[in-house]
Amino acid sequence: MDRRTTPRTVLLVVGELLAWWAALTLLWLVLISSVYPLEWIVGASVAAAGALLARAGRRAVSWR
Amino acid sequence: MSRRLRLWLLALGGAGLAALLAAACLDLPGFGGRAHPYGTRAVHASLTRHTANTIASVNFDQRAYDTLGETSILFAAVLGCVVLLRQARDEHRARPEPARVALPVRRYALLVMPVALVCGLYVIAHGQLSPGGGFQGGVVTATALHLLYLGADYHALERIRPLGVFETTDALAVCAYLVLGLAALLAGTAFLANTLLPYGTFNTLSSGGTVPLLNAAVGMEVASAVVVLLANFLDQAVEIEEESAG
Amino acid sequence: MDEAVILVALLLVAGAATAAVAQRDPARQALVLSVLGVLLAVLFTVLQAPDVGLSQLAVGAVLTPLLVMLSVRKIRRRGRDRDGAR
Amino acid sequence: MNGWVLAATVELAGGGAAALWGVTTGPTARRVVAQNLTTAALCPALLLLAQGYGRPSYVDLALLLALLGPVGTLVFARLLHEDLEGQRPSAWGLTYAVAAMGAVVVAAVCAATGPGRAMVKLLVIGALLVGGNLIASRALSGAFRGVRGG
Amino acid sequence: MSTVTQVLPYLVAAYVFLTGAYGLATSRNLIHAVGCLSVCQVSTYILLLAVGYRSGGTAPVFSDIKPGSRPVVDPVVQALTLTDIVVGATVTALLLALVLQIVKRHGTVDPDELRELRG
């Protein structure tokens, strides 16, 4: 994997993170039983952690 | 002692123990009985403190001191493993060859890893509402990381697992539990008494006073403890080799 | 009906425990232990203890088998290295 | 008491007994397949029980089993692959049959739940269960053949 | 029939404990012995939860039912069991680590051979 930081790669990384974050926030909303602001905040931060892990995992596998 | 003699001794002791256990079983209150005095009181106490999951209330409020003991056993057990499995002087690390895993399995692992993380954190966060809590969710969260070993190889797992961070988190989480207990003491009540925070609205994430915080501390501790534990076993099983001369 | 499902789960757990002890090879025992873990989770559910069931599921399905299998692997690898050196 | 619990009892008795028999007898390859099918057989039973007891919160158990069961099988596929080499354990007919049964149970529970977020949660569990089961079967039938040291 | 179901869970717990103890005493492999010990542990979980069960009861988790609407089982024994399962797993890990140390020092997993080494 090339490690140059062109705008295109940055955009791709941000897109990947955002896609994971949105998907995992949706998953959180499916798991819980009632929705209220605190639940949104916790869900969004957990989804962010999940997105970072997903990105890190993919990078660790493809980066040799 | 010969093997035969040992078996005879075992049979004798086992028969005696079986007779005693059977007698004890016949004297226990019948299975499914209606009288549970402790249970009734625990449910009542949990409801007055706005904790929807009575089991979490028992663990992190009514018997929080007992849970402190459990977490310290867990901490000590992990510490013992780290000491026993550390790399000795007559051992060296050999890097294993990278594994070739079938593509569907690798994709599955990469896909399920974040999902498992979110589910584990969900189980921790909702510990005081629905079934779950720090102990269960912590194990699931730690398992999520190790999908990378199963789906790729140990080398990939090592890249996303800063072991020092997890060791520190483990210790910090135990400290956080203690500090929360001491905070109650400073506020003028008993150690680990749940009087520090408002009890909140029933059946929301912020209900139950200090229960969610203690729950989160235990979740962090269990998750990092399991990661450290598995890291030591993986090191031994995959990387560490003895010097063949010894 | 509730009693029937508890009865079935209890008998399955007793059978799985017997099988886990009867398997003398650690790797095969780990397989039975993981099945025992899942059966126990079901037993705890029918005894109305979902929290305990979750705990057993998390530990019994992955953690214990992984620990046992890693130990088995270490011992096997060690034996192989010794045989190779000899 | 109700049909859901009865169905769960039947499923538990049949699936559990078959899994137990499969995992204690025969060559290692057969045992690993039985271990894999245990997840697929018992996860629907947990869903049926949650429905039968009228407790949606029990569904979390099925969720975790659908998530972790295949991971447990991957552990064995990964660490026993030397024993499994050349045997290529697979029972695709049985695997598909059990997966179809899981799908039927999920569909039935979904129909009883009605549309809403709870139904989406059940569908997620169903997807994880069937997908995980198929992938784990694939892993058993020789996904780790290149692995030496790791 | 009812007397059988009233005692059977306790008897199953006792049986599981004795089975595990038998395996522990006759084991020829230390890893197998650790597995047998975890089977022994299981018996305590069964016993505790059986003591806390109540016919027709449900879990005392009030996120999806109204408090007081249904009879509930005993939460105290569940809390005891729950923590012990996770802590028990780490203790199993500690025992396995000891086994690995023994293998490293003495080169065998058979407890009988270990005794011979000691003389």
Q: How far apart are CA B112 and CA D144, in angstroms?
A: 18
- Does C34 score more than 60 pLDDT? yes
Structure token digits, residue A51? 């997105």
Residues of C with CB below 8 A from E10's CB? none
Q: How far apart are CA A3 and CA D19, in angstroms?
A: 49
- Of all helices (H) and strands (E), which one includes residue B91? strand B91-93
Q: Answer yes or no: are the C-beta atoms of B145 and B227 closer than 8 Å.
A: yes
Written as one letter, the residue type at D88 is: R
Q: Answer yes or no: are the C-beta atoms of D57 and B130 closer than 8 Å.
A: yes
What distances in angstroms separate CA D36 from CA B48, B144, C4, D61, D76, one per listed residue?
A: 44, 19, 26, 17, 10
Q: Answer yes or no: are the C-beta atoms of D48 and D105 closer than 8 Å.
A: yes
Q: What is the mean pLDDT of chain D?
A: 88
Residues of C with CB below 8 A from D38's CB? 34-35, 38
Q: Answer yes or no: are the C-beta atoms of D48 and D6 closer than 8 Å.
A: no
Q: What is the pLDDT of residues D75-130, one digit of tens each?
A: 999 888 888 877 777 788 888 999 999 999 999 999 998 888 899 999 999 999 99
- Provide the residue ranges of all domains of chain D, joining segments of one domain with +: 3-140
Q: How far apart are CA B125 and CA B138, in angstroms?
A: 10
**A5 CA: distance to closest CA in chain D (Å):** 32
Confidence of residue D26 (pLDDT cuts 50, 70, 90): confident
- Does A64 score more than 60 pLDDT? no
Does any CB of chain B come closer than 8 Å to the CB of residue E79? yes
Angle, vertex CA B76, rays to CA B71 and CA B77, nearest 5: 95
> Which of E12, E22, E87, E2 lies closest to E49 in space, CA to CA?
E12
- Does C6 score more than 50 pLDDT? yes
CB-CB neighbours of B16 under 10 Å: 10
Q: How far apart are CA D6 and CA B187, in angstroms?
A: 53
**B186 CA: distance to closest CA in chain D (Å):** 37
Q: Answer yes or no: are the C-beta atoms of D59 and D43 closer than 8 Å.
A: no
- Determine the structural domain holding residue A16 and report its residue range: 3-61
**C8 CA: distance to closest CA in chain E (Å):** 11
The average pLDDT across E87-105 equals 92
Structure token digits, residue D46? 């947990």
Confidence of residue E39 (pLDDT cuts 50, 70, 90): very high
Q: Answer yes or no: are the C-beta atoms of B206 and B198 closer than 8 Å.
A: no
* Chain C meets chain A (3+ C-beta pairs below 8 A): no
- Determine the structural domain holding residue B155 and report its residue range: 36-242
Q: Answer yes or no: are the C-beta atoms of A24 and A50 closer than 8 Å.
A: yes
How buried is E112 (Cβ within 10 angstroms: 0-12 exposed, 13-18 middle, 19+ buried)?
exposed
- Measure the CA dihedral D35/D37/D39/D45, to 10°: -130
Residue that the structure tokens 């089993």 belong to: D65
The predicted structure's pLDDT at residue C69: 94
For residues E65-78, one letter each, b for 16 or more C-beta atoms within 10 angstroms of the residue's C-beta and e for the rest, the string is bebeebebbbbbbb
- Does E119 score more than 80 pLDDT? no
Q: Answer yes or no: are the C-beta atoms of A54 and B113 closer than 8 Å.
A: yes
- Is B149 strand, coil or helix? helix
Q: How far apart are CA B188 and CA D22, in angstroms?
A: 60
Pairwise CB contact (< 8 Å): E8 & C10: yes
Q: Answer yes or no: are the C-beta atoms of C77 and C85 closer than 8 Å.
A: no
ipTM computed for the complex: 0.93
Confidence of residue D149 (pLDDT cuts 50, 70, 90): very low
**E71 CA: distance to closest CA in chain B (Å):** 9
Q: How far apart are CA B104 and CA B81, in angstroms?
A: 34
Does any CB of chain B come closer than 8 Å to the CB of residue E25? yes
Chains that touch E (3 or more CB pairs under 8 A): B, C, D
Contact map slice: E 37-66 vs B, CB within 8 A: 50-55, 59-64
* Per-residue confidence in pLDDT tens, chain B, 246 aa: 678 898 999 999 999 999 999 999 988 888 888 888 899 999 999 999 999 999 999 999 999 999 999 999 999 999 999 999 988 888 888 887 777 788 889 999 999 999 999 999 999 999 989 998 899 999 999 999 999 998 888 888 988 889 999 999 999 999 999 999 999 888 888 888 888 888 888 888 888 889 999 999 999 999 999 999 999 999 998 888 877 544
The average pLDDT across A16-44 equals 93
Residue percentage of chain D with pLDDT more than 70: 93
The predicted structure's pLDDT at residue B245: 43
- Is E34 strand, coil or helix? helix
- Does E96 score more than 90 pLDDT? yes
Confidence of residue A3 (pLDDT cuts 50, 70, 90): low
Residues in chain B: 246
The predicted structure's pLDDT at residue D10: 94
Residue that the structure tokens 């425990």 belong to: C17
Q: Answer yes or no: are the C-beta atoms of E61 and C50 closer than 8 Å.
A: yes
Pairwise CB contact (< 8 Å): D76 & C30: yes
Cβ contacts of residue B149 below 8 Å, gap of 6+? B156, B157, B234, D78
Residue B5 lies in a domain: no
Pairwise CB contact (< 8 Å): B102 & D144: yes
**C54 CA: distance to closest CA in chain D (Å):** 6
Q: How far apart are CA D40 and CA D28, in angstroms?
A: 19
Q: In chain B, what are the helix, strand and coil shares in percent, each to the nearest 5?
A: 70, 5, 30
The average pLDDT across D24-34 equals 90
The predicted structure's pLDDT at residue B244: 59
Q: How far apart are CA C19 and CA C29, in angstroms?
A: 8
Total domains in the fold of chain A = 1
Residue B29 lies in a domain: no
Total domains in the fold of chain B = 1
Q: Which of A31, A34, A61 to mutate to test the interface with D (most CBs of D within 10 A)?
A: A31
The predicted structure's pLDDT at residue B102: 84
Count chain C–chain E contacts defined by CB atoms under 8 A: 130
What distances in angstroms separate CA B105 from CA B110, C80, D39, E37, one per listed residue?
A: 9, 28, 17, 34
Q: How far apart are CA E40 and CA E31, in angstroms?
A: 14
